[in-house]
Structure 1
Amino acid sequence: MRRSIFLGLFQLALLSLLALAPVAASADNSIESVRVWPSPDKTRVVFDLKSAPDYSYFTLYGSDPLRLVIDFNNTGLDTALDNLGNDSLLLDLIRTSTPKSTGSTRIVIELNEKSEPQIFPLPANESYPNRLVVDLPGKSVERSGPAKSISELNDRKVTIAIDAGHGGEDPGSVGPTGSYEKTVVLKIARALASLINADPGMQAYLIRSGDYYVDLNERPQKAWQAKADFFVSIHADAFRTPQPRGGSVWVLSKRRADSEVGRWLEGTERKSELLGGAESIIKDTGHEPFLAQTLLDMSMDSSIAGAYAAARHIIGEMSAVTKMHKREPQAASFAVLKSPDKPSLLVETGFISNPTEERLLNSNAHQQKLARAVYKGIRQYFVNNPLDNTYLAKHSNSEYTVKSGDSLSVIAERYGTTVSAIKRENDLRSSVLRIGQKLKIPSR
């Protein structure tokens, strides 16, 4: 009796296994991993697959919870979905559900608010396998630290847009010990933003405030939306051999500038190519194309000239704290530098591919020195080229009221001058300050 019962159970288990076998065999594709990248205005979910995805999707926004459902046809799931999206305000849960067909996988993304998904596949490259990318627009993280939203920016201060290169699934260059460029430059960008926000005449807007990717064309557009007066992109260089090292500062090449002017004036490309002040110039001169081109040329030339001047100040400051690979401003066709309405430049803080420089770039002390050098260079540019009706224009050679925690060295650093110059200007015999004391700040 016991033998027959055992054989019956064995046969039942065997039949169950055989029934399951075709499911695994029929799934030609597989989801190998899932990654989530929250940013201030959207959350990106990336599915890494063995081969190109075959998928469909629909939303269930008339029920609770709000759900985005994605069906991966003929695809298995070879990864866990635990703790995904915990850092996103928009996402609540990513889970599986009953698939619509044998051998398929149904993924359900539960949301805290409605979002119109943008879903697209990406082919494999040298860094990543085949992917399905799901972009969910909506507030996903709180800006933290030195980051400010556009609504928090104040008038009458010079606004500096700081762009930390790469981010999210794009690590940028990778150092010999595995350091990511995206991580290093974000730390330098945050340090720079802190210095700028501590300056009474300046304020910072971080294009990328966390570990997520921003499209290259969106970066100058975000600076324009913030009404920034200056754009600086922070990067770390790399080379195929470890020997090169040192920083450099880059501005837009005139060839790229001339090309962008032509693209802006072509009506078929305006929607995707309009950046910065170009839109208003073209709109105001829509029936006078030659006038539009002349104004755009003048605006672009002025922006490039301003970038060159600022680059020289920054190179001078960086030379005091790090080795420079190039001691003159360099010109290149970087996409992020093409705004015609503001000086725009790109700072290469060093070669992350050089072992010595990789260690330096990972050092908080060195990051702070680089940030301070860039800050002082930008500030000096605006002291020399003040914008009308801004704090720096009104106070570049005026009084400063001493506050708690101030010292002559701190004030000198903040205003791009020296302790001895402040003492000489104010006929000070001592370095001791008192709260409420009035000091005349000399321009350097």
Structure 2
Amino acid sequence: MSQRVLLILLSVSIWALSGVLSATNIVTNLRLWRAPDHTRLVLDLTKPADHRVFTLTNPSRVVVDLEDANLFTALDALELTDSGVGSVRAAQRENGGLRVVLDLTEALSPRSFVLPPNEQYGHRLVIDLQREDDASTTVQAAREVRQAQTGGQRDIIIAIDAGHGGEDPGAIGRSRTFEKNVVLAIARELEALVEATPGYTPFMVRTGDYYISLVRRRQLAREANADFFVSVHADAFTSPQPSGASVYALSDRGATSTMASYLAESENAADTIGGVGGVNLESMDAVVRSVIVDLAMTHSMQEGLTVGSSVLGQLRSITRLHKPQVEQAGFAVLRSPDVPSILVETGFMSNAADERNLGSQAYRRRLAQAIFNGIKGHFDAHPPPNTWVYAQRANSQTFSSYTVRSGDTLSGIAARHRVSLSRLREINNMNSDIIRVGQVLRVPSG
């Protein structure tokens, strides 16, 4: 056979193969992420997946069938340690499809969904293998954090949420710095600062490189009975000019929609609003329940704004601010009915200087210190009752006398003496805001 004929046959074969491959879905890569409450397997594909997922027993397996697909990657490179998956194998089916089998080592419940291309990945098929809640180390950690105490009184619990994670990288800088890695590093610095401070206990919402839904993040903070929730992020924009840090609190619109959806879910009727020592809603009628949740949402939003301003003031001393005041938005992760929260954008990954700073451990440590100083400054001045910080402040505080004059209100007196209304009532053993001219009140000195 002549060389010319060989070249023609080779060209025809390549052309035919390219036609087949263009019509076939190709699995180009597999990635696996281990989270406390689930394991996520991601298949990178050349087109949207036509698939089905089902389970088999004796032994336990999860089977993924892909229509008209081929596998063009190795399976033995997957790190399966502690994933609940013992092995992954694949084979072509007679109908041209591809079957991927996951041999399980523990009870896992699968669910699947497809994702469209983003700036990092193409088409993807995601298989989430869910564990029971009781097996979740994150949930268990939340339950244990509730018991945190210092010297007989409970600690103030700060929930620290590192944004994104796992398959969701967040913003990506020009030097390929991933937001998910930067914010986890900042969160760990913040955790160390909280842990080292008497009367305070940290709760890490995300402890590794895996994804947690926005709803689950705030649920975990509530399960830990957190006094405050701070979500750490890094921004991005279509142009490289914007830079600097921002702080966000929940908006009125976000609070209103959250309250409505919360009250619409019947299972929340048996919930407890207000964290430690909160109010059980189960025995209340709909109107009273609505009032309680409304008060909790209003307090949560206002405290978020107050702490946010404190954090922003601390950030101002170490970095440029993108916005000079606390912004308000309906971020889903902030929509807890009774855990005050803020979202801190630590800088812009799309800005070269910010990306370079955020890649520095020393800079991340300063950011964490600023965030912590802002949160601690607020809670040192306004500690929740029955906490160690509250007891320390009460024991060290001195008082003077104030005689009520015409035109005085209890709230006005509280504001002038820089004390909360509830604290002023407590100091004076009052169960209402009614005062009379000539009444002598104890107020904090200085």
TM score, norm. by length of structure 2: 0.76
Specify the code of the residue in structure 1 equivalent to 2:342. L
Q: CA deviation at 1:151?
A: 3.9
Match of 1:106 among 94, 99, 109: 99
* Distance in structure 2 (CA, Å) of the matches to 1:142 and 1:363: 32
Q: CA deviation at 1:90?
A: 1.6
Instruction: Tell me, yes or no, if the aligned pair for 1:265 and 1:282 is still in contact at 8 Å.
Output: no
* Distance in structure 2 (CA, Å) of the matches to 1:161 and 1:109: 35
Specify the code of the residue in structure 2 equivalent to 1:93. S
Where do 5+ consecutive residues of structure 1 fail to align?
Answer: 1-16, 400-442
Residue aligned with 1:380, SS: helix
% identity of equivalent residues: 39
Q: 1:222 and 2:215 equivalent?
A: no
- Partner residue in 1 for 2:79: 85
- Partner residue in 1 for 2:64: 70
* Distance in structure 2 (CA, Å) of the matches to 1:222 and 1:86: 26
Instruction: Tell me, yes or no, if the aligned pair for 1:276 and 1:340 is still in contact at 8 Å.
Output: no
Residue aligned with 1:350, SS: strand
Match of 1:162 among 160, 163, 167: 160
- Partner residue in 2 for 1:322: 319
* Distance in structure 2 (CA, Å) of the matches to 1:338 and 1:208: 18
Q: 1:338 and 2:330 equivalent?
A: no
* Distance in structure 2 (CA, Å) of the matches to 1:306 and 1:26: 56
Match of 2:41 among 38, 41, 45: 45
* Distance in structure 2 (CA, Å) of the matches to 1:275 and 1:52: 40
Instruction: Tell me, yes or no, if the aligned pair for 1:27 and 1:103 is still in contact at 8 Å.
Output: no
Specify the code of the residue in structure 2 equivalent to 1:149. A
Deviations 1:262-301 (A, max 9, x none): 222335xx569999839997943653x3322222221111
- Partner residue in 2 for 1:54: 50
Question: CA RMSD of the aligned region, Å?
Answer: 3.3
Instruction: Tell me, yes or no, if the aligned pair for 1:304 and 1:343 is still in contact at 8 Å.
Output: yes
Residue aligned with 2:364, SS: helix
Deviations 1:54-111 (A, max 9, x none): 2233333323xx32222222211111112213344422222224x4424222212122
Specify the code of the residue in structure 2 equivalent to 1:242. P
User: CA 1:23–1:331 in 2, change beyond 3 Å: closer, same or farther?
Assistant: closer
Residue aligned with 1:353, SS: coil
User: CA 1:262–1:93 in 2, change beyond 3 Å: closer, same or farther?
Assistant: same
Q: CA deviation at 1:212?
A: 1.1
Higher mean C-alpha deviation, range 304-313 or range 84-93: 84-93
Deviations 1:178-221 (A, max 9, x none): 11111100100011011111112111111111111111111111
Q: CA deviation at 1:251?
A: 0.3
Instruction: Tell me, yes or no, if the aligned pair for 1:263 and 1:273 is still in contact at 8 Å.
Output: no
Higher mean C-alpha deviation, range 159-168 or range 109-118: 109-118
Mapping of residues 129-168 of structure 1, within 5 Å: 129-138=122-131, 149-153=141-145, 154-155=147-148, 156-168=154-166
* Distance in structure 1 (CA, Å) of the matches to 2:239 and 2:372: 31
- Partner residue in 1 for 2:411: none
Residue aligned with 2:214, SS: coil
Instruction: Tell me, yes or no, if the aligned pair for 1:224 and 1:276 is still in contact at 8 Å.
Output: no
Instruction: Tell me, yes or no, if the aligned pair for 2:88 and 2:103 is still in contact at 8 Å.
Output: yes
Q: 1:361 and 2:362 equivalent?
A: no
* Distance in structure 2 (CA, Å) of the matches to 1:132 and 1:273: 36
Residue aligned with 2:109, SS: coil
Instruction: Tell me, yes or no, if the aligned pair for 2:272 and 2:281 is still in contact at 8 Å.
Output: no
Residue aligned with 1:37, SS: strand
Specify the code of the residue in structure 1 equivalent to 2:70. G
Instruction: Tell me, yes or no, if the aligned pair for 2:199 and 2:387 is still in contact at 8 Å.
Output: yes
Deviations 1:364-405 (A, max 9, x none): 000001111111111111111111111111224769xxxxxx
User: CA 1:25–1:296 in 2, change beyond 3 Å: closer, same or farther?
Assistant: closer
Instruction: Tell me, yes or no, if the aligned pair for 2:263 and 2:269 is still in contact at 8 Å.
Output: no
- Partner residue in 2 for 1:189: 187
* Distance in structure 2 (CA, Å) of the matches to 1:176 and 1:22: 34
User: CA 1:263–1:26 in 2, change beyond 3 Å: closer, same or farther?
Assistant: closer
Specify the code of the residue in structure 2 equivalent to 1:95. R
Instruction: Tell me, yes or no, if the aligned pair for 1:81 and 1:94 is still in contact at 8 Å.
Output: yes
* Distance in structure 2 (CA, Å) of the matches to 1:276 and 1:290: 16
Q: CA deviation at 1:51?
A: 2.0
Q: CA deviation at 1:23?
A: 13
User: What is the number of residues matched between the two proteins?
Assistant: 375
Q: CA deviation at 1:330?
A: 1.1
Instruction: Tell me, yes or no, if the aligned pair for 2:182 and 2:358 is still in contact at 8 Å.
Output: yes
Residue aligned with 1:284, SS: coil
Residue aligned with 1:300, SS: helix
Q: 1:178 and 2:176 equivalent?
A: yes
Instruction: Tell me, yes or no, if the aligned pair for 1:27 and 1:76 is still in contact at 8 Å.
Output: no
Instruction: Tell me, yes or no, if the aligned pair for 2:272 and 2:279 is still in contact at 8 Å.
Output: no
Deviations 1:301-324 (A, max 9, x none): 111111111112211221222122
Specify the code of the residue in structure 2 equivalent to 1:138. R
Q: CA deviation at 1:224?
A: 0.8
- Partner residue in 2 for 1:407: none
- Partner residue in 1 for 2:380: 383
Match of 1:207 among 205, 208, 211: 205
Deviations 1:408-436 (A, max 9, x none): xxxxxxxxxxxxxxxxxxxxxxxxxxxxx
* Distance in structure 1 (CA, Å) of the matches to 2:373 and 2:22: 63
User: CA 1:272–1:285 in 2, change beyond 3 Å: closer, same or farther?
Assistant: closer
Match of 2:108 among 107, 110, 115: 115
Where do 5+ consecutive residues of structure 2 fail to align?
Answer: 1-12, 149-153, 397-444
Match of 1:231 among 229, 232, 236: 229
User: CA 1:361–1:54 in 2, change beyond 3 Å: closer, same or farther?
Assistant: same
TM score, norm. by length of structure 1: 0.76
- Partner residue in 2 for 1:254: 252
